[in-house]
Structure 1
Amino acid sequence: MAVLGVMMMMVKNQVAEQGMFAVLQRIKDLDIDAVEVSQIPMSEENTADLERAVKELGMIVGALSVALKPGPTATGDNLEENFDKIVSDCKRLGTKFVRIGMMPHRAMASKEACEAWAAECEQAAQRLAAEGITLCYHNHHVDLAQFDGERIFDIVRRVAPSLYFEVDLHWVQRGGMAPLDMLELYSGVCKIIHVKDFRVQPLPAEALDAIESGDRATFQSLFNNIVQFAEVGQGNMNWPQLLPAAEKAGAEFFFIEQDDTYGRDPFDCIADSRAYLASIGY
């Protein structure tokens, strides 16, 4: 069975305020045994706390977030400038996956730019593989855009066969592809799964006020933006089918993630997600 964890981007503010080890202890107390580290500096202090949690709490550091190069979408170490440090961190923590959270925006804009970026990823993936580390790419809905009938996902896989995927099932759904189809199509390639629900909220009062006052533009904007990130089990995703399918597709980690908690304490959201997953056998 895939190891269940949490995407620490959700608690980055708490790490900054309370320290890494204290947050990891709280995560462990929620019956969660693994983490993926993203948008949190891999400073010596944080890395030492992660190492301590591995030894003292039995925590698994399933994946570290990296960028290919420095740039607007890079939020931490990058493989161009920090390759040796990234490898050292992985070996120190027993981590075998690193993941790129998003391709540069320009790479999303044309087939040629996407192919060029993917070719660089292939080189980086091969270099990491020589160190026993697997490079994964995390999708958003934009990765379902097509150039000449070929999805960005497919372009990346064609050009970078050594690169594996971290599949965010919410973003697949939002991109207009059935998540079960995605898992079947990329079976054997999906190493990490982001478990994030897809909620459609009721029409807000502001939308009703706008349409009644004749402001159709405001109404349409509000009507088109009623999708939310949700605690697992509180949206419309079919997790009892999706999670077994993800394991069949080769997933080794399931990371709970919620990009926006809409004012709720993220630990409460994680606890709700964890309780639901336990109720369906995870």
Structure 2
Amino acid sequence: MDRLGPLNAFIHAAETRSFTAAGQALGISSSAVGKAIARLEERLGAPLFHRSTRNITLTPEGGRFLKRCQTIFSEIEAAELEIAQSTAPKGTLRVSLPLIGMLMTPPLGAFAKAYPEITLELDFTDRLVDVIEEGFDVVMRTGKVADSNLKMRMLGTYGYVIVGSPAYLAKRGIPREPEELVGHDCLFHRWTATGKLERWIFSREGAELDFQPPASTVANTMEPLIGLAEQGLGLFYTPSFTVRRQLANGTLRSVLDASLRSSGTLQILWPPSRHGSPKIKAFVDVMARTVLAS
């Protein structure tokens, strides 16, 4: 069993082409990774990497050895999953969600109640996380996802609404065309990753309208903006599922519905090495049933 540690270090270094990245993933220093691989090479009597000041590349022997090692660790993971699947889902589940995920409390609460033996660690951010290197079990994201190495399940699509409180609309009037928003207080969400304001996308006669209302208040998370809209301080453009409760109970009303045609997608992703994990499967199933449910 003491041979598995160096093999694991070798796999991480080979897959990332970096001793530093391998060390970060394993929680050890890059020099410790280098020493482990040097001892492995000495035992094997063959070099596994070509080393330069800038990068490392596999030797032919290293390439063949990597395939064998990956097979070994895949079998170990399969054996662990076989045992885990015979028991109730449990353990720690690290989940990365977009900042919009702060508005997903009901689905997250439903999951926590259904699986009390799973400890949720939730990280809310709009930056693109490295799922494998940063040790996340599951990542939930809006928009397009470029990492084709991950398993993915589409949770669904959602539309956008512009909402305001009944008191605000009674006082300031209901806009009938997008251009009338010039005379309104508009609450804008700023994307943390880019620093840009979220575009309010309008359409007219099937074509996108080149118009943006002026911003009266800006925040980098949506939750306070929804609260400000409920308090009658302006109109807010947001995914419809984030204000489902407020629209149902009447604290917010939607306007300009006919001028909004934009939609977004929500997907959930996880590393292929953990495909079949009971806790991941349970989380994916609950989110698929609840997040965008009407």
Q: Is TM more than 0.5 here?
A: no
Q: What TM-score do the two structures reach when normalised by structure 1?
A: 0.22
The structure with the larger Rg is 2
Q: Say which structure is richer in strand.
A: 2
Q: Which gives a bigger RCO, structure 1 or 2 (Cα 8 Å, sep 6+)?
A: 2
Q: Say which structure is richer in helix.
A: 1
